[in-house]
Amino acid sequence: MNQFLRLLFGVGLLMTEPRERRRVYDRVTDQLDDVADQASRGYKAVADRVEHLYRTARGEDDRALSGAACFLIGAGIGAGAALLFAPASGQETRDAIAEKVREFQNNAHGVARKTA
């Protein structure tokens, strides 16, 4: 409690001197401006993300299609590499790769039908 009273007393003394009051006011104003700038940047980032999601949901954003296509291609390559390095016989590995290729083709056709 004594520390709190000392703090209040010290702040009161500082605020009675015009130069100190101006310095405190300037520092607080600068900090509030920084907080307002950060909030504005955060709001802009969230608004951009929401707009992107809205356009993607409506099918107006072409970047979503390219991202989905890249994901599918990457998943196919990853699955193929995993199968090649898996400890299985040659025939089992070839059968598994053929199955994954068929699954990938079916997925790609499904994505193409949805976007058309």
Q: What are 85-105's pLDDT values in tens digits?
A: 766 666 777 787 788 888 888
Q: In terms of domains, do 44 and 75 share one?
A: no
Residues 84, 93 contacting (CB under 8 angstroms): yes
Average pLDDT across the chain, whole number: 75
Tell which phi-psi region holds residue 89, choosing left (phi > 0), alpha (psi between -120 and 50) or beta.
Answer: beta
Helix (H) or strand (E) holding 78: helix 62-84
Q: What CA–CA distance (Å, rounded) separates 85 from 88?
A: 8
Identify the pLDDT of residue 88: 66
107 lies in which domain range?
Answer: 62-116
Q: What CA–CA distance (Å, rounded) separates 46 from 34?
A: 18
Q: In terms of domains, do 74 and 84 share one?
A: yes
Counted domains in the chain = 2
Q: What is the pLDDT of residues 55-80, one digit of tens each?
A: 777 766 655 556 666 677 777 777 77
Q: In terms of domains, do 106 and 54 share one?
A: no
Which of 35, 60, 85 corresponds to the end of one domain?
Answer: 60
Q: In terms of domains, do 34 and 55 share one?
A: yes
Residues 24, 15 contacting (CB under 8 angstroms): yes
Q: In terms of domains, do 50 and 84 share one?
A: no
Which of 60, 82, 104 corresponds to the end of one domain?
Answer: 60
Identify the pLDDT of residue 115: 66
Q: In terms of domains, do 50 and 6 share one?
A: yes
Q: In terms of domains, do 28 and 72 share one?
A: no
Q: What CA–CA distance (Å, rounded) separates 17 from 77?
A: 71
% of the chain beyond a pLDDT of 90: 0
